[in-house]
Amino acid sequence: MSERFGARLARAITARGPLCAGIDPHPGLVAEWGLPADASGLERFALTAAEALAEHVAIVKPQSAFFEAYGAKGVAVLERVIARCREAGALVLLDVKRGDIGSTMAAYAEAYLSEGAPLAADAVTVSPYLGVGALEPAFATAAEHGRGVFVLARTSNPDGRAVQTADAGGISVAQSIVDQLAERNAGAEPVGDVGVVVGATNVPGELRLAGLNGPILAPGFGAQGATAEDLSAVFGTALPAVLPASSRDLLRAGPDPASMRERLRGVQAELRRITAGAPWGEVGAGRPASG
How many other C-beta atoms are found inside a 10 Å radius of the C-beta of residue 166? 11
- CA 231 from centre of chain: 15
Active site (annotated) includes residue 73: no
d(CA 147, CA 149): 7
d(CA 229, CA 176): 27
Beta strands in 8-122 (DSSP E): 20-23, 59-62, 91-98
The one catalytic residue among 11, 26, 86, 97: 97
Which SS3 state, helix, strand or coil, does residue 33 take?
coil
Residues with Cβ < 8 Å from 83, sequence gap 6 or more?
A: none
Catalytic residues: 97
